[in-house]
Amino acid sequence: MSDPSPIRPAGARSYAVCWTGGSGIVYGQRFVEVLLALGHQVHLCATDAALRVLAHEAGIAVDRARPDLAGRFGQVPPGRLLVHPIDAVEATPASGSARLAATIVVPCSMGTLARVAHGFSSNLAERAADVALKEGRPLVVVPRETPLSALHLENMLTLARLGAIVLPAMPGFYHRPGSVGDLVDFVVGKILDRLGIDHALVARWRTPDPASPWDEGEA
Ligand SMILES: Cc1cc2nc3c(=O)[nH]c(=O)nc-3n(C[C@H](O)[C@H](O)[C@H](O)COP(=O)(O)O)c2cc1C
């Protein structure tokens, strides 16, 4: 399958982003928004439950059979954002041969977490995650639930042992968030950090040392 993006900006990469039915769909929305703003290509799919949460939490109602999510991200260059129906198991993220840099499941419901941990691949989101694992590409899951049962914890441990990055939607407060957006950006920034994508969403922690020659962007 040919790359639908006619011009790939230098440094731009393609990511599979899967929204599932955990609370916090805003994390998924913001993550896609930031990837696009940074010039990357996004293959987006959303489970039926994710679209129900989108309607409930964001007041955005879409046709769940063929969700028109592309129009939700403003003016995006052609080919930069590809929205796939959740049953489109023939879509690019379903293939190990696709040139995808990583798969990110954000937010990740406990149901999807369980199915990915056990290789169910019953829809495009689960298949994209399964492909990332088998290809040894980064898989980031952003689970959202509280409290967590032993089963939830076991499934997270299973995924972590398989090489997935388990990055719970647990914003910190040491950056002194002043808004919900700041809390969301904390989690989105953590995802970007794990993918090695540079960003300035959140001020980085450092002990004050006016004499230090180190740039705060340095590790
Ligand atoms: C408003 C709303 C919030 C929900 N929040 C969560 C949640 O935080 N975590 C979770 O695991 N499930 C949550 N659920 C339930 C899941 O959406 C449900 O288990 C669904 O079957 C998951 O399907 P999926 O994994 O295919 O997306 C929520 C559902 C709704 C409608």
pLDDT for residue 215: 57
Give me Rg for the CA atoms of the chain: 17
pLDDT for residue 65: 82
The tokens for 50 are 């994710």
> How many other C-beta atoms can be found within 10 angstroms of the C-beta atom of residue 64?
17
CA 13 to centroid of ligand 1, rounded, Å = 29
Ligand 1 pocket mutation pick from 23, 57, 145, 153 by most atoms within 8 angstroms of CB = 23
Closest CA to 112 of 18, 4, 31: 18
pLDDT for residue 216: 55
pLDDT for residue 5: 46
Question: Residue 41: CB within 6 Å of ligand 1?
Answer: no
Question: Residue 33: CB within 6 Å of ligand 1?
Answer: no
Residue 19 CA: nearest ligand 1 atom is: 27
Low-confidence ranges of the chain (pLDDT < 50): 1-6
pLDDT for residue 8: 66
How many angstroms separate the Cα of 29 from the Cα of each of 9, 40, 209? 22, 15, 36
CA 102 to centroid of ligand 1, rounded, Å = 23
pLDDT for residue 214: 66
Question: Residue 110: CB within 6 Å of ligand 1?
Answer: yes
Under DSSP, is residue 74 helix (H, G, I), strand (E, B) or coil?
A: coil
Cα–Cα distance, 84 to 82 (Å, whole number):
6
pLDDT for residue 2: 42
What domains can you pick out in the chain, each with its CATH number?
Answer: 14-195 (3.40.50.1950)
